[in-house]
Chains A and B, each alone.
Chain A
Amino acid sequence: MKQRKLSRRSFLATGARIGMTGLSLSASSLLLQGFDFGDLGSTLQQATKLADSATKSFNAVSKALEDITPEQEYYIGRTIGAIVLSKYKPYEQKASNRYLNLLGQSLARFSDLPELFDGYHFQILDSTEINAFATPSGMVFVTRGMLHCCAHEDALAAVLAHEIGHVQLKHGLQSIEKDRITKATSILAIEGTKNFAKSDIANLTSTFEDSINDITSSMINNGYSRSFENEADAAAVTLLKRVGYDPAGLIDMLQIMNKKLKPGGLDFAKTHPSPESRIESLKKLVSGAGAQAPQVAQQRRFETALKEV
């Protein structure tokens, strides 16, 4: 079947599922056009009409996100990265960040969304709080506290794969109120240039600030919905299996996190579903309670890179 739209929006997890149904139904409606099928035909046409309207409403929802090009995602993500780094200090040690990027960028290449405007980048934050964030542009932050929940490379790969999942599923962008996107994308450059008029730039910057606030308030302050977290966990399991990591590493990490999290804490405890409930959901996707013994070379490089963290 020929894919009509090649935009990245077709990779939205839910979008891809609904979108595919939509595509096959649209194809059947095209076939029906211009033919007289009698009673059977009219029943079919009616059914197709219903399916088409479902496709249309899906398209209307995804249309707003589709208007955000990778270039715009990049500028949104840069500012969110800067806000994260105004709240957390970067951990500057080169070897550990280098290792994090080798692991993260290797994983990202096998994700459903490997190509971003400026690619994926990974950075450790100098905080004992247990947390991790990903900007819509693919800048992934992991705290030292989160690294302490990882006993091996399979577990750390799981943390990064979960964050890549949030990027690939556009969870950050979905936090933006839809009318802001419409407002932003309807303001166009001055004819013949790539620049905006002064009044337009003021409007656009204020919409930009509002959009950034929408994202940071769910990403940093309140956390995503439980269903977004479960979707990111499921995307992580798929990615880990694809690359060859043991997805049970995610369960290992959650078990350590469960012991370390302080009830009522302001970090992961506040913004994520409990590790126990995530483990419960993961059991449907992962066989075995924990990862196999880690591969020797993997364990050596993991310990060497993170020994001072």
Chain B
Amino acid sequence: MGELLTVQVRDCQIRTKPSFLGAVLATVHYGDRLSSVQTKDSWVKVSFSGAKQGWIHISALTDKEIVLHPSARQVSQSASSDELALAGKGFNKQVEEQFRQQNSQISFTWVDKIETYHVSQKEIGQFLEAGDLKPAGGAA
């Protein structure tokens, strides 16, 4: 209990209950640190903004600390540490840019476009309901 966890995806939601059908309480971002209160199946109850609590899916979290803007000391520490990860280590935007310079025949235009396809929580709720689908994990 009380273990510090880090958001390892670009952004994700904290919800009122351990289900994607739970109402959204807050959005957290890459590198944010949250304190775990309780776990239930694949969901972790976290505390945020002081006294508030809500649920977040375990796949959005890591027990490593992700450092977005590392200091010199943290860079050398991260080489031997299981607890520390640097944002942007290994394959990152800079590597993609270099790859694109060397492979100009491969276009990323459509990849960028496909990444803009978003479906909202409300639309998913409506889609499931209209299709008479009742996922295990509860209704909204």
Contact = CB atoms under 8 A, between A and B. Distances in A.
B95 A201 contact: yes
A117 B58 CA distance: 13
A115 B60 contact: yes
Interface in A104-142: 105-106, 109-110, 112-119, 121-123, 139
B93 interface: yes
Given A191-B72, A195-B94, A209-B99, A139 B8 contact: no
Sort chain A's interface into a size bin. 35 or more
Contacts of A202: 98
A172 interface: no
B95 A208 contact: yes
A86 interface: yes
A95 interface: no
A159 interface: no
B136 interface: yes
A6 B61 CA distance: 7
B75 A76 contact: no
B87 A194 contact: yes
A188 B78 contact: yes
A167 to B, nearest CB: 11
Contacts of A297: 130-132
A11 interface: yes
Contacts of B92: 71-72, 75, 194
Interface string B68-81: 11111001101100
B48 interface: no
A264 interface: no
A189 B135 contact: no
Contacts of A102: 119, 123-124, 127
Contacts of B86: 188-189, 194
A282 B102 CA distance: 44
A209 B102 CA distance: 10
B32 to A, nearest CB: 13
A214 to B, nearest CB: 13
A191 B76 contact: yes
Interface string B97-134: 01100100111101100110111000110011011111
A153 B62 contact: no
Contacts of A117: 8-10
A298 interface: yes
Nearest to A86: B106
B49 interface: no
Given A101-B117, A106-B124, A114-B57, A69 B85 contact: yes
A188 B91 CA distance: 10
B90 interface: yes
Closest 7 CB pairs of A and B: A115-B60, A191-B72, A244-B133, A115-B59, A109-B20, A205-B98, A105-B119
A243 interface: yes
B23 interface: no
**Residue in A90, A106, A208 whose Cβ sees the most chain B Cβ within 10 Å:** A106
B42 interface: yes
A153 B133 CA distance: 12
Nearest to B124: A106
A122 B61 contact: no
Contact of B117 (A97, A113, A189): A97
Nearest to B79: A188
A209 B64 CA distance: 27
A102 B126 CA distance: 10
Interface stretch (A24-32, A77-85, A247-255): A77-85
A147 to B, nearest CB: 17
B83 to A, nearest CB: 11
**Residue in A71, A188, A196, A201 whose Cβ sees the most chain B Cβ within 10 Å:** A71
